[in-house]
Amino acid sequence: ASGTVVLNCNKLIIPKSRVLKVITPEQMSITDSGAVFGVTPQILGLCTECVRSITRLSENRNSPSLAEHAQKLREEITTMRREIDLLRSEALNEESKSKSLELRAECIVMGVRFAHAVVAATGGSANDRSNSAQRLFREAMFYTLTAQTKDIQAATLNLLA
């Protein structure tokens, strides 16, 4: 994980040969807006692992209701991937940027929901730090924060409010 800090350096001289890149806040903002889907593959990977976990639980417990729930979640992943692929194939404009933020926020919330579903399906043993359900839940939190911009944060909070 990362932690963002303010760092002030006085009289620090860095030779040009050691500088990899200089980017202004404006350039960073432009880069951020074009990279809205940058972490969605990881979030969807997390969702896929959550479905696998619930499927394993359904098999171990011989639970048709858990199997049915896993199937519904699997279908949700497929639908989200289609929507993202469709949007990625379009030209970037204000409407698609807005839709990108919306889909990214939906992926974030989806990851948390799926991880929460694994915790609920697992039961009390999910409290154990070594239990994979807890790891998946922490991972969902990490993806909520990864590459988060003010726009992504606002879109996510709008879904939760």
Whether pLDDT at 38 is above 80:
no
Q: What is the band of 160 on the pLDDT scale with cuts at 50, 70, 90? A: very high
**Residue 7: exposed, middle, or buried by beta-carbon count in 10 A (0-12, 13-18, 19+)?**
exposed
Report the alpha-carbon distance of residue 134 to residue 138 in Å, rounded. 6
Average pLDDT, the chain: 88
The 10s digit of each residue's pLDDT in 110-130 is: 999 999 999 999 999 999 999
| Angle, CA 26 vertex, CA 39 and CA 91 arms, to 5° | 55
Place of tokens 């990490």: 142
Q: What is the mean pLDDT of residues 7-25?
A: 86
The 10s digit of each residue's pLDDT in 61-115 is: 999 999 999 999 999 999 999 999 888 887 777 777 888 889 999 999 999 999 9
Q: What is the mean pLDDT of residues 36-44?
A: 78
State residue 1's pLDDT score.
45
Whether pLDDT at 2 is above 60:
no
Place of tokens 């200089």: 22
Report the candidate in 137, 29, 113, 41 with the shortest Cα–Cα distance to residue 80. 41
The answer to whether 47 and 140 are in contact (CB under 8 A) is: no
